[in-house]
Every structure is written in structure tokens, then in C-alpha cells.
């Protein structure tokens, strides 16, 4: 299968080239040239398939020209060695818990899959690939963990000093091996700017193969469709139509769910739930897409003012607002509403939501006001301990720290402190 640029469909590349480049030369996002539905018996018998078999069949058509079947099976086995339970919260409301991976973020799936693909592509290549990524917290840990120990790939992660939580910093700085943490004296935007500058600096790119690891990369974006299928497998026996509410920032996750629907998965509707960064909820009302400067919230992994994957969602719906409205609703919620709902759900049911999951819950309830028959699943995208301060302040309790987090808390932090682009450049040229 080829992938074309959303800016110019005549630019077509293989899966491998799309993964290595990240973005098309004309700055368009890559998109699969076709999406062929899976056979209907796949969905009829899905309960009998293991998660790894489901993932293999679902992703096969996108990657088969570049990754042999046996290698693909191995990549999937390395990616999916943890659970994706659907947990009932109340009548017709359940959550798909995506936080049982090594860094307790849903990004573990995409990061691991991409890391394993790059590792596969770099076999037999003389030159290492360097993944350069800026993080405001959550992405970095998942990327670092996913790429740890992958031969032929080095990872350099920039994070703003003092601006990420202690847990997040430990996840970035304690791994060693092929992972280097750059502690930047500045804010996230400074990290982001340094990364962008490096990609355009030919003194670096002449010597080094640089790539990025954000959700515009097809190898991080597409495998996210797996867990929508896992949720379907667990919920099918309810015999009801399913709606998914996805807490959204860059809209890669929800867009992957829509690809699962194109593959034939029965879904009644999608809800994109956001915090006050409400570019998409506004667009869904009036058809005007107006990017904004991002606003800081307690669900900070969704503080995005110009969601990069939304063009893919528009493209999936022929860029037609009415068609899109039939498949997608989008609502935005304040921090106050998010905290109030965390409290309410905890006192009614005992379930502890993180602030991102709580935004997803709110969106689901909003949609269900007028569509009460459907079975709703909201995605819990992070474990509550990843956002410990908010959870402690809001609920007055301290969730138990899981073993994979405790393990890194004892390790020693190692980072390179830098204050300017020049220091990053010198590092990249020397290493």
C-alpha cells in the first residue's frame, strides 16, 4: 500500500518511507491510498480471536509490502503484551482502560509499534536513525520506553526543566542505553522550536538521519485502531449500538478509531471530547476552523490549539461538514466541570478517573442526553497517578502507585542540561 500526501495526492510513498520521513516533502500528512473493509466473519467471530490476531489482520493491508508477515507478528507481540479492559461504570457507561502499558499512557501502543517498525527498517542499514522529540510530559515517557534497546535507533528527548511532573521526569531520564534526555532551560515551546530548527539545519541533516515520533507519523497513528477493536470484542455481547467518546488533543487517537470503523467495525457514533481548547467543537458547529494559542488546563496532554490530525478526519469524511456531523459530535468542558465530575463519579461508583478520562466521560454523557439507548465507552487515556496532584487535590485521596512507576522512582536521573539551540546542535554533531 502507498500513502499519499494530503496536500497533493500525486505524492505517493511506501509505508517504510512514510515512517522514516514522518511528514511529506510538501508538509502534508500521509494518508493510506485505500482502506479495504475486513471480511464480515472477522467481526462475527472476533470473540474467538486473540488481541494479537486482531491487530495482525487489521494492520496487515497497510504495511504488508514493507514488513514480512513473520516480522509483523513479532512487532505486534512486542507491542501488545498488556491488557485493554472495558470496565462498566454505570448503566450503559463503560470505560476502555488504556493505561496498563509500561508508562501507563495509551501512547505506549503507538510508540512501541513505531519503534519496532523503525528497528525493522534499520536492519542492515549502515547509518543509525535518530529520533528527535520534544515533550511536555506524557509523550516523552512512552517514546523513551518504546524505543529502549531498539538497535539502529537513537532517541533524543527534549523536555522543559522543572515543568514536567516528578514521575514523568523519572520516566524520561532513568532509562539509559539508546535514550538521551535533554533538560532544556525554558518552556515546552522552546523545546519544540529547537527540534524544528534541527530538522531544517542541513549541517545536521547532512550527517544524520533525523526523524520525529509524534502522532502525525503513520506508524504511531494507525496502531491506535487496535484498541477500538479490542473494546468492540468485549462489548459486542451487550447487543447494543456502541458510541465511543475520546478525550482529544491532536485527534490522532479518535481518527484511528474512525479508521477501525472504515474497516467495518460497527460503531454508531464518535464523540470528540476536549477541554477549553475548543477549535474542533467550534468547527463542528459553524464549519470554520480557527486555530488558537493553546490554553493551559488540568488535562494538559490535550492543550492543543491546532490539532494536527484533524485534517485526516476531514479527509475521511470527504471534507464535508454534514457527513462529518453524522459521524462525530464534539463538546468542550472547563476544568471546573472536569473536577466536579471526577468527584461525582468517585462518590457514586468508587471509580477514580484521571482528568483526561473525566473529559471523555463528560462528552459521553452530553451525547447520551439525546441518545439514551446506545452503549457508551469513554477512553481512559492515562492512569490517575500520572496526574497525581490533580487527583489528590480533587478527590482527597492518594491512588496506589503501580509497580512500573515505583520501579523508575528509585532510579537515578541522568540528563544533559542545555540552554540554547547551539548546545543541542553540538551534541547532535558529536554523538
Ligand X SMILES: *Cc1c(COP(=O)(O)O)cnc(C)c1O
Nearest to 386 by CA among 348, 338, 353: 353
* Options 15-23, 123-131, 251-259, 409-417: segment touching ligand X (CB under 6 A): 251-259
Does 388 participate in binding ligand X (rule CB under 6 A)? no
Burial class (CB in 10 A: 0-12, 13-18, 19+), 194: buried
Does 107 participate in binding ligand X (rule CB under 6 A)? yes
Can you tell me which of 5, 173, 250, 277 binds ligand X, judged by CB under 6 A? 250
At a CB cut-off of 8 Å and minimum separation 6, what does 68 contact?
none
Q: What is the DSSP string of 114-140?
A: HHHHHHHHTTT-SSPEEEEEE-SSHHH
Q: Which is nearer to ligand X, 6 or 246 (CB)?
A: 246
* Options 16-24, 79-87, 250-258, 317-325: segment touching ligand X (CB under 6 A): 250-258
Give residues 327-366 in contact with ligand X (rule: CB under 6 A): 356
Q: Which is nearer to ligand X, 138 or 183 (CB)?
A: 138
Does 311 participate in binding ligand X (rule CB under 6 A)? no
Does 144 participate in binding ligand X (rule CB under 6 A)? no
Nearest to 219 by CA among 361, 62, 427, 98: 62
**Nearest approach, Cβ of residue 58 and ligand X (Å):** 18
d(CA 191, CA 185): 9
Q: Which is nearer to ligand X, 120 or 250 (CB)?
A: 250
**Nearest approach, Cβ of residue 137 and ligand X (Å):** 8
Per-residue x/- track, 44-83, ligand X (CB under 6 A): ----------------------------------------
Does 171 participate in binding ligand X (rule CB under 6 A)? no
Does 252 participate in binding ligand X (rule CB under 6 A)? yes
Can you tell me which of 141, 146, 247, 257 binds ligand X, judged by CB under 6 A? 247
* Options 56-64, 191-199, 242-250, 288-296: segment touching ligand X (CB under 6 A): 242-250
C-alpha cell at 97: 482502560
Q: Which is nearer to ligand X, 66 or 138 (CB)?
A: 138
**Nearest approach, Cβ of residue 301 and ligand X (Å):** 3
Q: Which is nearer to ligand X, 248 or 341 (CB)?
A: 248
Q: What angle do CA 420, 176, 252 make, to 5 degrees?
A: 70
Q: What are the backbone dihedrals phi and psi of residue 242, each rounded to the nearest 5 degrees, phi first?
A: -110, 135
Does 249 participate in binding ligand X (rule CB under 6 A)? yes
How crowded is residue 317: how many other Cβ atoms within 10 Å of its Cβ? 16
How many residues of this chain bind ligand X (CB under 6 A)? 16
Can you tell me which of 5, 130, 217, 381 binds ligand X, judged by CB under 6 A? 381
Q: Which is nearer to ligand X, 138 or 169 (CB)?
A: 138
Q: What is the DSSP letter of 322?
A: H
Query: 242-258 burial, b if ≥16 CB within 10 A, otherwise e?
Result: bbbbbbbbbbbbbbbbb
How crowded is residue 239: how many other Cβ atoms within 10 Å of its Cβ? 7
Interhelix angle 421-430/188-199, rounded to 10 degrees, is 50
Per-residue x/- track, 282-301, ligand X (CB under 6 A): -------------------x
C-alpha cell at 130: 535518530
* Options 50-58, 150-158, 202-210, 248-256: segment touching ligand X (CB under 6 A): 248-256
Cα 118–chain centre separation = 17
Task: Report how far apart the first and last C-alpha atoms of the chain are (Å, whole number).
Answer: 35
How crowded is residue 397: how many other Cβ atoms within 10 Å of its Cβ? 11
Residue 98, sorted as left (phi over 0), alpha (psi -120 to 50) or beta, turns out to be alpha
State the residues that interact with ligand X by CB under 6 A.
105, 107, 138, 215, 247-253, 301-302, 356, 381-382
Amino acid at each position: 500500500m502507498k500513502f499519499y500526501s494530503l496536500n497533493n495526492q500525486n505524492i505517493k510513498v511506501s509505508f517504510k518511507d512514510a515512517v522514516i520521513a514522518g511528514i511529506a516533502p510538501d508538509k502534508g500528512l500521509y494518508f493510506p491510498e485505500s482502506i479495504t473493509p475486513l471480511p464480515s466473519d472477522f467481526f462475527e467471530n472476533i470473540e474467538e480471536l486473540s488481541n494479537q490476531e486482531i491487530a495482525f489482520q487489521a494492520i496487515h493491508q497497510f504495511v504488508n509490502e514493507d514488513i514480512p508477515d513473520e516480522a509483523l507478528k513479532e512487532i505486534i507481540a512486542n507491542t501488545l503484551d498488556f491488557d485493554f479492559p472495558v470496565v462498566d461504570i454505570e448503566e450503559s457507561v463503560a470505560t476502555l482502560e488504556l493505561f496498563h502499558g509500561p508508562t501507563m499512557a495509551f501512547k505506549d501502543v503507538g510508540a512501541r509499534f513505531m519503534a519496532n517498525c523503525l528497528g525493522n527498517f534499520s536492519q542492515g542499514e549502515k547509518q543509525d536513525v535518530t529520533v528527535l522529540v520534544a515533550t511536555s510530559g506524557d509523550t516523552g515517557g512512552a517514546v523513551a520506553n518504546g524505543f529502549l534497546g531498539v538497535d539502529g535507533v537513537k532517541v533524543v528527548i527534549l523536555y522543559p526543566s522543572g515543568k514536567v511532573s516528578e514521575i514523568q521526569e523519572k520516566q524520561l531520564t532513568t532509562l539509559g542505553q539508546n535514550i538521551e534526555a535533554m533538560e532544556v532551560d525554558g518552556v515546552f515551546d522552546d523545546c519544540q522550536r529547537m527540534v524544528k530548527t534541527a530538522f531544517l539545519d542541513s549541517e545536521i541533516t547532512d550527517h544524520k538521519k533525523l526523524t520525529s515520533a509524534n502522532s502525525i507519523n503513520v506508524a504511531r497513528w494507525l496502531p491506535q485502531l487496535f484498541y477500538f477493536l479490542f473494546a468492540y470484542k468485549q462489548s459486542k455481547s451487550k447487543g447494543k449500538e456502541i458510541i465511543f467518546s475520546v478525550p482529544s488533543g491532536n485527534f490522532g487517537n479518535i481518527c484511528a478509531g474512525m479508521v477501525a470503523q472504515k474497516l467495518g467495525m460497527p460503531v454508531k457514533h464518535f464523540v470528540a471530547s476536549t477541554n477549553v481548547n475548543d477549535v474542533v467543537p467550534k468547527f463542528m458547529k459553524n464549519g470554520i476552523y480557527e486555530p488558537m494559542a493553546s490554553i493551559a488546563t488540568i488535562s494538559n496532554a490535550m492543550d492543543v490549539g491546532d490539532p494536527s490530525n484533524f485534517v485526516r478526519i476531514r479527509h475521511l469524511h470527504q471534507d464535508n461538514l454534514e457527513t462529518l456531523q453524522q459521524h462525530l459530535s464534539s463538546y468542550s468542558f472547563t476544568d471546573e466541570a472536569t473536577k466536579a465530575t471526577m468527584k461525582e463519579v468517585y462518590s457514586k461508583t468508587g471509580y477514580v478517573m484521571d482528568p483526561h478520562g473525566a473529559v471523555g466521560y463528560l462528552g459521553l454523557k452530553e451525547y447520551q442526553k439525546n441518545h439514551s439507548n446506545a452503549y457508551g465507552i469513554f477512553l481512559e487515556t492515562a492512569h490517575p497517578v500520572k496526574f497525581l496532584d490533580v487527583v489528590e487535590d480533587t478527590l482527597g485521596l492518594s491512588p496506589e502507585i503501580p509497580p512500573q512507576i515505583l520501579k523508575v522512582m528509585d532510579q537515578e536521573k541522568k540528563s544533559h542540561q542545555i540552554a540554547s539551540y547551539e548546545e543541542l546542535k553540538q551534541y547532535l554533531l558529536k554523538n
